[in-house]
Amino acid sequence: MLLTQNSKLKTENSLGLYVHTIGCQMNEYDSLRVLRLLAARGYVPVDDIAQADVVFLNTCSVRGKAEQKVHSFLGRLRSLKESKPHLKIIAGGCVAQQLGQKLLDKFDHLDMVIGTRAVNSIGQLLQRVQESGGRLACVADEENGGHQTDGLQIFPEGSVTAPVTIMQGCNNYCAYCIVPYVRGRERSRPSGEILEEIRLLEASGVREVLLLGQNVNSYGKGTGEAVTFVDLLRRIGTETGIARIRFTTSHPKDLTDELMDCFAEMNSLCKHLHLPVQAGSDRILARMNRGYTVSAYIEKIRRLRRICPEIALTSDVIVGFPGETEEDFQMTMKLLGEVQFDNLFSFCYSDRPNTRAAKFSDKVDRQTSARRLNELQGFQADITMGKYIAEAGSIREVLVEGPSRAANGQMSGRTSQNRIVNFDAPSSSKGKILSIKIAFAHTHSLMGEVHEINYELQMNKLPSI
């Protein structure tokens, strides 16, 4: 989105920057950081890779498939580099952090590898590469504990929603997960800095922030402040004028009653929680080092729904974790049937370097994992569709984010529950919260119509719809 807006600014003489992001919202946030840092050096984002003078590929290594995507993207860039020798190709993100020099050695058309902990230095490093014509890999762990404490993220005009990283890294060491190895130990940003960033975003027109961290519930440790995640949320609610707050990701073991209560008590907190469960068998959860049982998880879901009935719940599940029997798998299916998630992200387990699970000997074969995933996804697809269909007839508050992707003149936004809705409205409604009556459901979006022009719109005297 930001790229499209800015690409109009590219002129014959300016330098084009093409950014491709794989992976989670942490990486999207870092890509925005790269855009900002390189914009200060005259680089203009472009949508068309052919116009690029620099390509920045932000990589993910969380699952084998994500890493394969990195290798195939880099492979495809070889011919571009041959036809355009001055092009500089940079790989950043978690694969870069993990492989460093090895990635540079593997792809001889790659000019620079920059780890997640060094991304702040991208400007200087790129200049060094430009001037010397050489190649370099940098994965240095900066003294300040990472790159997220360097001040404020300022967004270009026009963004209605924005991510705000509140913490980096993770200390949980789930047995399957590479994140603690590539993102390092948990580090929280000072609360004052986060609040100031949100106020600046608000002043530039942002209405909704997404607070990011691998385990936001443990926010605050090590900041030297007596501040918890709940304190932070409540302060954002009272000390800024931001209309909507979301956060991700929550770890079930750290989801406290106080945090759940925020969903019932804070108007600005969106009614959606992503709470990865990973498996429905206590034995597998223990092997995964998740620190909760199925019944403890379900009890938390029950409490959430009791205090906030309109909350939407989504989750992550891994099938084929080492040692997962058919019986364990059926327990996961049973859990899905019982909880009825609004949406689910599900994956086949894949070995990741350095993780404890990679050393487990009782691996599930690929075919069995694939069959289980297929079965599980079919089962969940019906639940997800049922949830979408049930939205028909309801009236939802929708934050208008911009034109619909279908480019059919409609506008698009999301409900508090994080469902996409498309509807007819003037483009001037962007950034407003409208009451939308949901007419019907597609597979992953809803169609609606403006139910009533809300107070906010009337106050701004927008043209009638």
Which helix H or strand E contains 423, and what residues bound it? strand 420-423
- Candidate residues 6, 214, 268, 281; the one interacting with ligand SF4 per rule CB under 6 A: 214
Q: What stretches of 12-71 adopt beta strand conformation (E)?
A: 15-21, 43-45, 54-59
> Judged by CB, which is closer to ligand SF4: 179, or 400?
179
Which helix H or strand E contains 449, and what residues bound it? strand 446-452
In angstroms, the CA 109 to CA 86 distance is 11
146 is an interface residue for ligand SF4 by CB under 6 A: no
349 binds, among ligand SF4, ligand F3S, ligand SAH, none (CB under 5 to 8 A by kind): ligand SAH
Min dist CB 343 to ligand F3S, Å, is 18
- Decide: helix, strand or coil at residue 45: strand
179 is an interface residue for ligand SAH by CB under 6 A: yes
215 is an interface residue for ligand SF4 by CB under 6 A: yes
From 144-152, 229-237, 296-304, 349-357, give the range in contact with ligand SAH by CB under 6 A. Answer: 349-357
Q: Considering just the CA atoms, what is the radius of gyration of the chain in Å? A: 23
Are 85 and 372 within 8 A, CB to CB?
Answer: no
In angstroms, the CA 206 to CA 162 distance is 7
- Candidate residues 174, 262, 331, 335; the one interacting with ligand SF4 per rule CB under 6 A: 174
26 binds, among ligand F3S, ligand SF4, ligand SAH, none (CB under 5 to 8 A by kind): ligand F3S
- Candidate residues 10, 63, 183, 187; the one interacting with ligand SAH per rule CB under 6 A: 63
* Site size toward ligand SF4, by CB under 6 A: 10
Min dist CB 27 to ligand F3S, Å, is 4
In angstroms, the CA 155 to CA 200 distance is 9
Are 17 and 46 within 8 A, CB to CB?
Answer: yes
38 — phi, psi (to 5°)? -85, -25
Q: Which residue has the tokens 């002043």?
A: 203
Min dist CB 171 to ligand SF4, Å, is 8
182 is an interface residue for ligand F3S by CB under 6 A: yes
- Site residues (CB under 6 A) for ligand SAH, limited to 198-217: 214-215
* Cis peptide leading into residue 355 (ω within 30°): no
From 176-184, 231-239, 279-287, 441-449, give the range in contact with ligand SF4 by CB under 6 A. Answer: 176-184
- Candidate residues 43, 263, 329, 347; the one interacting with ligand SAH per rule CB under 6 A: 347
Are 284 and 321 within 8 A, CB to CB?
Answer: yes
Query: Residue 215 corresponds to which tokens in the numbers above?
Result: 């385990």
Q: Which residue has the tokens 């009638």?
A: 464
In angstroms, the CA 455 to CA 438 distance is 19
Are 47 and 19 within 8 A, CB to CB?
Answer: no
**Closest listed residue to residue 32, CA positions, set 111, 112, 148:** 148
- Site residues (CB under 6 A) for ligand F3S, limited to 44-103: 60-62, 93-94
> Judged by CB, which is closer to ligand SF4: 78, or 221?
221
170 is an interface residue for ligand SF4 by CB under 6 A: yes
Q: Which residue has the tokens 């000390």?
A: 239
Min dist CB 366 to ligand SAH, Å, is 13
Orientation angle between helical segments 326-339 and 366-389, nearest 10 degrees: 10
262 binds, among ligand SAH, ligand SF4, ligand F3S, none (CB under 5 to 8 A by kind): none
Are 342 and 311 within 8 A, CB to CB?
Answer: no
251 is an interface residue for ligand SF4 by CB under 6 A: yes
In angstroms, the CA 3 to CA 357 distance is 39
- Site residues (CB under 6 A) for ligand SAH, limited to 126-165: none
Are 3 and 47 within 8 A, CB to CB?
Answer: yes
As a residue count, the chain comes to: 465
229 is an interface residue for ligand SAH by CB under 6 A: no
Min dist CB 447 to ligand SF4, Å, is 35
Are 369 and 407 within 8 A, CB to CB?
Answer: no
> Judged by CB, which is closer to ligand SAH: 368, or 410?
368
Site string for ligand SAH, 264-283 (x = CB under 6 A): ------------x-x-----
- Candidate residues 183, 189, 244, 432; the one interacting with ligand F3S per rule CB under 6 A: 183
From 95-103, 146-154, 166-174, 404-412, give the range in contact with ligand SF4 by CB under 6 A. Answer: 166-174
- Residues of this chain that interact with ligand SAH (CB under 6 A) are 62-63, 176-177, 179, 214-215, 249, 251, 276, 278, 316, 318, 347, 349-350, 352
- Residues of this chain that interact with ligand F3S (CB under 6 A) are 23-24, 26-27, 60-62, 93-94, 178-179, 182-183
